[in-house]
Structure 1
C-alpha cells in the first residue's frame, strides 16, 4: 500500500522531543495557575505526564486524560492568565498526540504550549506584548534541533486564533528561520 502523500513521518522519538519542548514551555507558568487555584493539581499533573512520556513513558489514555483535565482546570480558573497557564499545560500533554498529517493546524500541537505560556505571562504583566515576545524568545532557545526539524515537516502555522495565534506564528517564524532578533539560534538543553 502506497504511503499517503498527506502524511508526515513521525517517530516516537520525534514525539518525545516535541513533548519535552512543550512541557518545558508550560512548566514555567504553572505558578500562575497555582496562585489562582492552589488546590488544583490538574495542570501540574498534565505537565508531569508530558515529561513522563518525553522521558520514555507510554503515550496512552492516562496522558490524554491529564490533558483533558488541564483543559477543564482552565475553565474553572478565575483569571485569564491562569486559564492560559492551564491551557499551556493541556497543550504540553497534548503535544504527544501530534498527528502525522500535513496540515497547518497540527503546528498548534508543537507550539501551543509555548504560545499559551507567553500569553499567560503577558496577562500577568498587564497585557504586555513585550513580555510575550520575551517568552517566545526563551521558547525558541529551548527548542532542540529535533523540534525544529519536526516543525519544518509541517506547513506554516495557520492564521487566526487571536493573540495566542499571533504568538504561535511568531514562534513558528522564529524557529523556521533560525534567527531571533538578528541572533542565530543556540538550542539550550533541557
Structure 2
C-alpha cells in the first residue's frame, strides 16, 4: 500500500541508523552530566538503550522508559550543561520512535540529540561560538546517509525552541545543503 500524503517512507535500517547517530552524539556529552551526578545512571542508560536498538535490538517499552527517565534526570540536573547533556540522552532514546510522518516535528527526533549535545558543550565552555561550530560540524560529518536521506523527505526544522531550536535548524540546513 503506498503511503498517504502525510506519510514518508522509513525503513527499519534507516530508523536504526538515525538512532545510532543520535546515541553517538549524546554519548559525547555524557560526562557533562555524569561529573556532577555520578550516582545517576539515567542518561547513560538511555544512550545504551538507543545503542542497543541501533545495533539490532528490539524496540521495546524499556527504550521509551529510558528516554523518559533521562528527561526526568534533565529536570533535576544541577547545571545548564548537565540539563542539555541529559536531554541529548533522552532524545537519543526517543529517536527510535521517529514516526513516518511528513512533519517538521520529526526533524527534532532525528537531530534533537545532536542539537542538545551542541548546546551542552556550548554551555560547558562558556558559550564559545568556536566550540559550538566545531560540535555542529562534527554532527554534520558523522551523519550517516540515512539521516540526510530521511531529512530530504521531511519539511525543514520548525521555528522556535530557543537556542537548541536554533542549533537544530543550523544543523538541519547544513545537512540539507
Structures share fold, TM-score greater than 0.5: yes
Deviation at 1:124, TM superposition (A): 0.5
User: Separation in 2 of the partners of 1:159 and 1:134?
Assistant: 23
Cα distance in structure 1, aligned partners of 2:103 and 2:128: 31
Q: Please list every run of 5 or more consecutive structure 2 residues that lacks an aligned counterpart in the other structure.
A: none
Cα distance between partner residues in 2 of 1:119 and 1:150: 23
Is 1:155 equivalent to 2:155 in the alignment?
A: yes
Quote the Cα distance in structure 1 between the aligned partners of 2:2 and 2:132: 44
Distance 1:98 1:174 in 2: 21
1:118 aligned partner: 118
Whether the 8 Å CA contact 2:3–2:9 is kept in 1: the answer is no
Q: Supply the distance in 2 between the matched residues of 1:154 and 1:4 (Cα, whole angstroms).
A: 14
User: What stretches of structure 1 move > 4 A for 4+ residues in a row?
Assistant: none
- Give the number of equivalent residue pairs: 177
Return 5+ residue gaps in structure 1 as ranges: 178-190
Tell me what 1:143 maps to: 143
Give 2:11's aligned residue.
11
Give the TM-score of the pair, scaled to structure 1.
0.91
Correspondence 1:92-107 to 2 at 5 A: 92-107=92-107
TM-score between the two structures when normalised by the length of structure 2: 0.97
1:108 counterpart residue number: 108
